[in-house]
Every structure is written in C-alpha cells, then in structure tokens.
Structure 1
Amino acid sequence: MGGIDLQETARDRALELPAAGFERPFGPEVDVAKVLGKVFLLLIPVQDTPVVVLKAEPRDAEALRAAHPEITPGYHMNKRHWITLNPGGSLPEELVRELVTNSYLLVVEGLPRSRRHVDPATFLAGDPGSSRTDGPAA
C-alpha cells in the first residue's frame, strides 16, 4: 500500500469513529486525529513519505513490529506506546483499519467514563453505532 492510500485508509476509519475529528496543531502537513481532545492518530510526512502514527499496547506494538517490517516504533513519539505504519509493504487495509480502531479505543479507555462515547469493552462486539452513549459530540 502506498503512502497516500495508507493515510486515506487511516483517515477514513478515524472519521467513522464516534466523537473523533482532525486538527492541524503542528501546521498544514500534519493531521492529528483526536477524541475529546486526546490524540490517537497522526498523519505525517517523514522525509517526504506519508506515514501513519498510532497508539498501541506495548506488547501488541512489539509483536506487530516483529511480524511486519513496515511497522516501526512511533516516529517522534514514545517508542513503547506508539507505532508507525510505513508504506510500501503488504499491510492489508483491514489491519490498518483495525489498528486505527485499537488506537482510538486505547485513548477512550483513559477518558473518564462520563465522557466516553463508547464502551471500549463492547465497542467491537456488535454495531459500533449501538455502543454510543447519549453524551455530546466533540
């Protein structure tokens, strides 16, 4: 998957998630996805190559890096808790979408329960739309 396709897949999935949106706090070249003010995804150029940076559980991040050469430690982020998806490899689109969702859920898990738009424990169990709470959208 090329860099543009990689970023578009990640962006499309992020925009499907409740209360998620993009900002550009670091300038026009860096898109940052947040849920209720907390970052879960960055779309950035690294040496003119579009990459995706995501939050991940440390054990998952380690296993993903071992299994996929196009997954590396998080660029300019905590190397234990963030990963970078690089283009040019054979990452399946569904894996990219799953990693975006997992990053989102890790961040939501850290929010106070009263602010969560989804229950991280049940979000993937069924229709994601049915897991929403009645809270306000960000």
Structure 2
Amino acid sequence: MDRVDLHRVCSEAALQFPAVTVEQPFGPDSDVYKVKGRMFMFLAELDGEAIVNLKADPEDSGALRQAYPEITPGYHMNKRHWITVTGGKNLTAALLRELVIDSYRLVVEKLPRHRRPVDPETFGSA
C-alpha cells in the first residue's frame, strides 16, 4: 500500500459514515475527520511520508503494533488510545477500512446517546 492509496482508502471509507465532516484546522496539508465535532481520523504527511492517525482500543493497539511494522503509537497523540499507520506491503485495504470503522465506533460510543448517528455496537457489522 503506497502513500496515495493509504490516504485514499482511509478517506473513502470515512466519508461513507453518517455525520462525518472534514476540516483542515492545521492547514491545507492535513485533514481532520470528525463525527459530531469529535476527531476520529487525521491524515497528513510527516517527512514526506503519508500517515493516518486513528483511535484504537488500547488492548487492540498493542497487538496491531506487534503484527504490523506500519502501525506505531499515535504521532502527537495519546500513545495508549491512538495509532499511526504508514504505507507498507503488509497493509490491505480491508484492514485499513476495519481500522477506520473501529476508530469511528470508539468515538461515537463516547457521544451522548441522543447525539450518536449510529449504534456503535452494530455499525459496520456484516
């Protein structure tokens, strides 16, 4: 998965979810994806390399970092609750979409029930 595909796959996945907005509070070179005003994904370039920051369950993030060298603790984020994904041969579009869905769900479940655009327990389930 190269850097262009990394951002494209993650962006396409996120834009299909209800109540998603995209902002550029840090300038035109980075995109912040939010649901109901809360960030769940950050796309940018770091030293010429595409990165994607995603919220992750702390238990899952450790396993992901062990399984994929492209997944590291969240750059400029809480290292326990966020991961950074870079391009690499081990990543698939399906895995990226799953990580984006998980990030979205984690943020939605922290919203008050009346503000949730989806049920985080069932959203994205087959």
TM-score range, shorter chain: over 0.9
Give structure 1 stretches of 5+ with no counterpart.
127-138
Secondary structure at the residue paired with 1:16?
coil
How far apart, CA to CA, are the structure 1 residues paired with 2:90 and 2:124?
25
How far apart, CA to CA, are the structure 1 residues paired with 2:89 and 2:20?
27
Give structure 2 stretches of 5+ with no counterpart.
none
**Conserved? CA contact 2:23–2:31, under 8 Å:** yes
Partner residue, 2:102: 102
Relative to the length of structure 1, the TM-score reads 0.89
**Conserved? CA contact 2:101–2:124, under 8 Å:** no
Secondary structure at the residue paired with 1:98?
helix
Runs of 4+ aligned structure 1 residues displaced above 2 Å come to none
Cα distance, 1:4 vs structure 2: 1.1
Partner residue, 2:66: 66
Q: What is the aligned-residue RMSD (CA, Å)?
A: 0.9
User: Residues 90 and 125 (structure 1 numbering): CA distance in 2 closer, same or farther, change over 3 Å?
Assistant: closer
Secondary structure at the residue paired with 2:88?
coil
Partner residue, 1:35: 35
Cα distance, 1:21 vs structure 2: 1.6
**Conserved? CA contact 1:10–1:100, under 8 Å:** yes
**Conserved? CA contact 1:14–1:21, under 8 Å:** no
Larger Cα-atom Rg:
1
Cα distance, 1:48 vs structure 2: 1.3
Partner residue, 1:14: 14
How far apart, CA to CA, are the structure 1 residues paired with 2:76 and 2:3?
18
**Conserved? CA contact 1:69–1:89, under 8 Å:** no
For 1:6, the aligned partner's letter is L
How far apart, CA to CA, are the structure 2 residues paired with 1:67 and 1:21?
31
How far apart, CA to CA, are the structure 2 residues paired with 1:9 and 1:113?
29
Deviations, residues 24-49 of structure 1 (Å, cap 9, x unaligned)? 00101110000000000000111111
For 1:64, the aligned partner's letter is L
Partner residue, 1:53: 53
